[in-house]
Structure 1
Amino acid sequence: MSEHYSVIVGLSLALVVTSLLVVEVRHLKYAALAYFVQGLLLVAILVAYATLLPNHALYLWSVTVLISKAGIIPLLLWHYLKRMAPMETPNALGFGISLVIGVAVLAGFYWLVDGHMTWLAPVPQLAGEPYGTNLSVAFTILAFGLYALLSRRDTLKAVMGVCLIENAVHLSLVSLAPGLPETAMIGVVTDVVLSVWILLIIIKGMYEQVGSSDIREMAKLWG
């Protein structure tokens, strides 16, 4: 059982790497590819939990995540990327400084949450592995998604930041109450596919009007 749990922990830590790639890779198509890989990792975590607990309702959740996060959302991103500039609008920090800050956010927030796991976990059992690591990773990805929203000028990167935040919500749900069938139901209904689609339509319209996906250019639409 501990060997199986170590697999879940490894998959969870891989989510941190893909989060860093989603935010820091400037080529938007490759950033979207990193998000696609993160979706597959999240599916693998859900399937692992469903098998080990067992909680067969998590299989339903994993199917919806596979369809949405490893299917619909990446396809939507790639579809709209074909009509827009392939490279991210440069952020104010520059690549080097942004990468250093990004790594610091990931490492610092993981250390902060992991060090206070006994306070965050609703029951002592969830402070152990693999739940503790997964919950730490979930809060870390949440913080990194917020960092993307605050530091990026490119509207498509902002959308990817929203997607990271939602992935963090899914991981935190399955980490806090993995054995409850209701957890899977909550996970199914908290998907943001429609919201992402609407945001991409708005961004495409903005790009057609001002020729840029820079958030600062949105002011021209009001002028």
Structure 2
Amino acid sequence: MTGFTLVNILGGLLIVTSTVVVLARTAKKSALLYMLQSFVLVLLLLSLGFATESSELFLWSASAFVTKVVLVPGILLYTIKKLGESQEVVNETSPARSVAIIAIEVLVCFAAVKQVDLYTAAEVKPALAISLAHFFIGLTCIISQRNIVKQIFGYCLMENGSHVTLALLAPHAPELVEIGIATDAIFAVLVMALVVRRIFRKTNSLDANNLMELKG
């Protein structure tokens, strides 16, 4: 098995983990599954680093482990604990329909990537298609979830997709670029978590449908 083959296999695992993040019945389960997906992303970065002989990607994988496997899930799990959110969440879209939508998004991205003719992407087109699909999967998560905590995971999935896309197209980019992206993600998740806590204190609800009316 070549290094690029392993990268594409790990890309396939990213789709599996992102799908279960969307379908998870509680926000806590989504946080734990997102942690698992981020660990798969770290393994993908390591595999890509060995395949491309990029020392930068080894540093990327280390910082991604700290930020995506530890810090971001930790912030979300702490927020969920403070909110006391343990009940099942309600999805606007049925699980079967969500899976079908994700499958269509992946197929469209595979068709789009076939037209890409870049030297850096020649061996990793399946993984590149999957990384692009994460933007749409993130949107699907945001649209299909009524629980506002779970909607945050839509942003997290989109951010993971951008992370992988950058690594695949520019494996020798300075590690400082990755740190900038990861830092933005941490602050964004932290701000969203604080906003969710304020909303819950005011409304005692995490259901987005209960937040549709403005009150004077």
Tell me, yes or no, whether TM beats 0.5. Answer: yes
Between the aligned residues of both structures, percent identity stands at: 24
| Residue type at the aligned position of 1:18 | T
Contact 2:26–2:89 (8 Å) recurs in 1: no
Q: Which of 188, 202, 206 lines up with 2:199 in the alignment?
A: 206
Post-superposition offset of 1:116 = 3.1
On the 8 A contact 2:27/2:89 being kept in 1, the answer is no
Give the deviation of 1:134 after TM superposition. 1.0
Task: Letter of the 1:101 partner, please give it.
Answer: R
Structure 1 counterpart SS, 2:87? coil
- The one-letter code matched in structure 1 to 2:179 is V
**TM-score of the superposition, structure 2-length normalised?**
0.90
Q: Tell me, in whole angstroms, the C-alpha distance in 2 between the residues paired with 1:92 and 1:171.
A: 28
Matches within 5 A, 1:118-157: 118-119=114-115, 121-124=116-119, 126=121, 128-129=122-123, 131-157=124-150
Conserved? CA contact 1:73–1:193, under 8 Å: yes
For the structure 1 residues 88 and 202, does the alpha-carbon distance in structure 2 shift closer, same or farther, using more than 3 Å as the test?
Answer: farther
How many Å apart are 1:83 and its aligned residue?
2.1
* Paired residues of 1:105 and 1:143 also in contact (CA < 8 A): no
Match of 1:104 among 100, 104, 114: 100
Partner AA of 2:101 in structure 1:
V
Contact 2:21 2:34 in 1 (8 A): yes
Code of the residue aligned with 1:181 in structure 2: it is A
Corresponding residue for residue 114 of structure 1: 110
Partner amino acid, structure 1, of 2:30: A
Larger displacement relative to structure 2 (102-111 or 158-167): 102-111
Alpha-carbon separation, structure 2, partners of 1:124 and 1:181? 15
> Residues 54-76 of structure 1, C-alpha deviation per residue, up to 9 Å, x if partnerless?
11011221111101110001111
Instruction: Work out the number of aligned pairs and report it.
Output: 213
Question: Distance between the aligned counterparts of 1:199 and 1:102, measured in 2?
Answer: 24
AA in 1 matched with 2:192: L
Which residue of structure 1 aligns with residue 173 of structure 2? Answer: 181
CA contact (8 A) 1:68 1:193 kept: yes
Distance (whole Å) between structure 1 residues aligned to residue 140 and residue 103 of structure 2: 13
Correspondence 1:44 to 2:43: yes
In structure 2, runs of 5+ residues without a counterpart are none
Residue ranges of structure 1 left out of the alignment (5+ in a row): none
Structure 1 stretch displaced more, 80-89 or 7-16: 80-89
Over the aligned positions, Cα root-mean-square deviation in angstroms equals: 1.8
Q: How does 1:14-93 map to 2 (within 5 A)?
A: 14-84=13-83, 85-93=85-93
Q: Is the CA contact 2:46–2:57 (under 8 Å) kept in the aligned structure 1?
A: yes
**CA-to-aligned-CA distance 1:71-127 (integer Å, 9 cap, x gap):** 00111111111122213541233xxxx2222222222122222123232x351552x
